[in-house]
């Protein structure tokens, strides 16, 4: 535990060691705001809730999270510091978990910085804060899943650019698998249970289920399992590094 935290702390401080982190945070907060007000018609809806705000999160994450997570392993390998890290008395799990926690925390900080919009909606009307809390939980879980996906993508390459592209593509596929567009690809020939299986992997469906305010257990478990699955794959890849 201490080891994992030490790695997470180092990784998180690495984010803030460059101005890029602050640019990221500002860009994220600004774009959530812009999306909510311009595309989400936050004002014109005349409803005191944050539905348009949360609706845009998956799409912002699609770019934002691979950008945050792409360096996790790729940079380590490119700089050769992986040799230092992997010869310290740590297990692959501790490293994988430490890096994941750091990147997730960074996204969490970005998410927390959107608090002014919560204050605004409370000032303007009388929203159901329980639903807003559920929205934040859904958003954080979704972010966790995408961070795990990106971390895995980053472990596959020593190029940050490739890691970014892989992260975006994998995240996109996972998000879109519930849309009719994707399901149609399967429904023509595959049996119904395959179509259902593909649909059940959709991040968007589970995100909506939680964000509606019901905190559906099934969907929470889904995100947790997805995170663990990709962290496990991440660990396997890191173990395979040793072989080559």
Partner 1 sequence: MTPLIDVRSLRKRFGAVLAVDDLSFSVNRGEVLGFLGPNGAGKSTTMRIIAGFIAPTAGTALVCGEDIQSNPVAAKRRIGYVPEGSPLYGDMTPEGFLKFICDVRQMSREERRKAVATAIDRVQLDEVLHRRIDTLSKGFRRRVGLAQAIIHDPDVLILDEPTDGLDPNQKHLVRELIRSMGDTKAIIVSTHILEEVDAVCDRALIIDRGRVVADGTPMQLHARSPDFNAVSLKVTKAETDRAVKLLRAVPKVASVEAVEQIHGSTRLLVRPQDGEFIAEAVGAALHGAHLATTDMNNVVGTLDDVFRSVTLNQGR
In the complex, the residues that contact partner 1 under the rule CB under 8 A are 2-3, 6-7, 9-10, 13-14, 17-18, 79-81, 83-84, 86-91, 242-244
- Smallest distance from partner 1 to CB 83, Å: 4
- Smallest distance from partner 1 to CB 202, Å: 37
In the bound state with partner 1, the residue whose beta carbon lies nearer, of 57 and 71, is 71
Ramachandran area for residue 158 (φ above 0: left; ψ -120 to 50: alpha; else beta): alpha
Do 45 and 21 form a contact (C-beta atoms < 8 A)?
Answer: no
Nearest to 59 by CA among 234, 179, 176: 176
Do 114 and 32 form a contact (C-beta atoms < 8 A)?
Answer: yes
Q: Would you state the structure tokens that stand for residue 228, as one six-digit string?
A: 């663990």
In the bound state with partner 1, the residue whose beta carbon lies nearer, of 72 and 203, is 72
In the bound state with partner 1, the residue whose beta carbon lies nearer, of 91 and 184, is 91
In the bound state with partner 1, the residue whose beta carbon lies nearer, of 231 and 238, is 238
- Smallest distance from partner 1 to CB 86, Å: 5
Nearest to 106 by CA among 151, 74, 169, 76: 151
Which residues, at least 6 apart from 144, have a Cβ–Cβ distance to it below 8 Å?
104, 223, 227
Distance between CA atoms of residues 59 and 42, nearest Å: 17
- Smallest distance from partner 1 to CB 82, Å: 8
- Smallest distance from partner 1 to CB 18, Å: 7
Q: Would you state the structure tokens that stand for residue 198, as one six-digit string?
A: 């593909």
In the bound state with partner 1, the residue whose beta carbon lies nearer, of 24 and 54, is 24
- Smallest distance from partner 1 to CB 149, Å: 25
In the bound state with partner 1, the residue whose beta carbon lies nearer, of 14 and 60, is 14
Q: What is the secondary structure of 61-115 as a DSSP string? A: HHHHHHHHHTHHHHHHHHHTHHHHHHTSS--HHHHHHHHHHHHHHHHHHHHHTTH
């Amino acid at each position: 535990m201490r080891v994992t935290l030490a790695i997470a702390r180092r990784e998180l401080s690495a984010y803030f060691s460059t101005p890029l982190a602050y640019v990221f945070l500002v860009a994220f907060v600004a774009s959530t705001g812009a999306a909510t007000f311009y595309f989400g018609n936050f004002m014109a809806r005349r409803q005191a809730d944050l539905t348009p705000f949360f609706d845009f999160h998956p799409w912002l994450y699609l770019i934002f999270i691979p950008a945050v997570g792409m360096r996790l392993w790729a940079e380590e390998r490119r700089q050769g510091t992986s040799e230092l890290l992997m010869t310290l008395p740590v297990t692959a799990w501790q490293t994988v978990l430490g890096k994941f926690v750091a990147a997730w925390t960074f996204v969490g900080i970005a998410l927390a910085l959107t608090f002014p919009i919560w204050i605004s909606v409370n000032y303007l009307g009388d929203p159901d804060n329980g639903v807003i809390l559920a929205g934040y939980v859904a958003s954080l879980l979704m972010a966790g899943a995408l961070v795990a996906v990106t971390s895995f993508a980053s472990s596959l390459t020593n190029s940050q650019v490739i890691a970014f592209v892989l992260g975006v593509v994998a995240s996109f596929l996972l998000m879109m698998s519930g849309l009719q567009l994707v399901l149609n690809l399967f429904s023509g020939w595959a049996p119904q249970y395959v179509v259902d299986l593909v649909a059940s992997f959709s991040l968007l469906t589970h995100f909506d289920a939680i964000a509606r305010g019901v905190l559906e257990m099934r969907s929470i478990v889904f995100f947790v399992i997805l995170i663990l699955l990709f962290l496990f794959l991440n660990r396997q890849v890191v173990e395979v590094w040793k072989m080559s």
